[in-house]
Amino acid sequence: MKRLGYIVSVLLLICCSACTLSAPVMKLLLQANYKNLPVSTITEDYANRIDVPYVENAEPEQVLDIFYAYPENRKDAVVIDIHGGFYIAGKKEYNRVFAEVFLKAGFDVVSVEYRLNDRVRDVSDELRDCAAALDYLGVHAEELGLNRDRMFLTGDSAGGHLALYMAEGSENPAMPVRPQVFKPRGVLVNCPAYDYGQYGEAEGYTKDFKAWFVGPRYQDKEYLESLSPRTFIGSYTGPLFLSTCTKDFIRAESLKLKADCDALGREIVFVDIESEDKKVGHVHNVTYPDLPESREVNAAMIEFMNN
The CATH number given to whatever domain includes residue 300 is 3.40.50.1820
**pLDDT recorded at residue 32:** 62
* Total number of domains in the chain: 1
Position 49 in a domain: yes
Closest CA to 187 of 172, 167, 169: 167
Non-local (6+) Cβ contacts of 246 within 8 A are: 272, 273, 274, 275
Position 101 in a domain: yes
Position 203 in a domain: yes
76 vs 59: CA distance, rounded Å: 30
Sign of the torsion angle spanned by Cα atoms 172, 176, 177, 181: positive
Q: For the whole model, what pTM was predicted?
A: 0.91
Position 297 in a domain: yes
**pLDDT recorded at residue 40:** 87
Beta strands of the chain (E only): which ranges?
A: 47-53, 63-68, 78-82, 108-112, 151-156, 186-190, 240-245, 269-273
150 vs 107: CA distance, rounded Å: 10
What are the φ and ψ backbone dihedral angles of 178, each rounded to 5 degrees?
A: -160, 155
pLDDT tens string, the chain, 307 residues long: the values are: 333 343 334 334 444 444 455 666 666 666 666 666 777 889 999 999 999 999 999 999 999 999 999 999 999 999 999 999 999 989 999 999 999 999 999 999 999 999 999 889 999 999 999 999 999 999 999 999 999 999 999 999 999 999 999 999 999 999 999 999 999 999 999 999 999 999 999 887 788 888 888 999 999 999 999 999 999 999 999 999 999 999 999 999 999 999 999 999 999 999 999 999 999 999 999 999 999 999 999 999 999 999 9
Position 26 in a domain: no
66 and 43 in contact (C-beta within 8 Å)? no
Distance, CA of 300 to chain centre: 17
216 vs 228: CA distance, rounded Å: 16
Position 25 in a domain: no
Position 154 in a domain: yes
217 vs 121: CA distance, rounded Å: 10
Which range marks the domain in which residue 180 is found?
Answer: 42-306
Non-local (6+) Cβ contacts of 41 within 8 A are: none
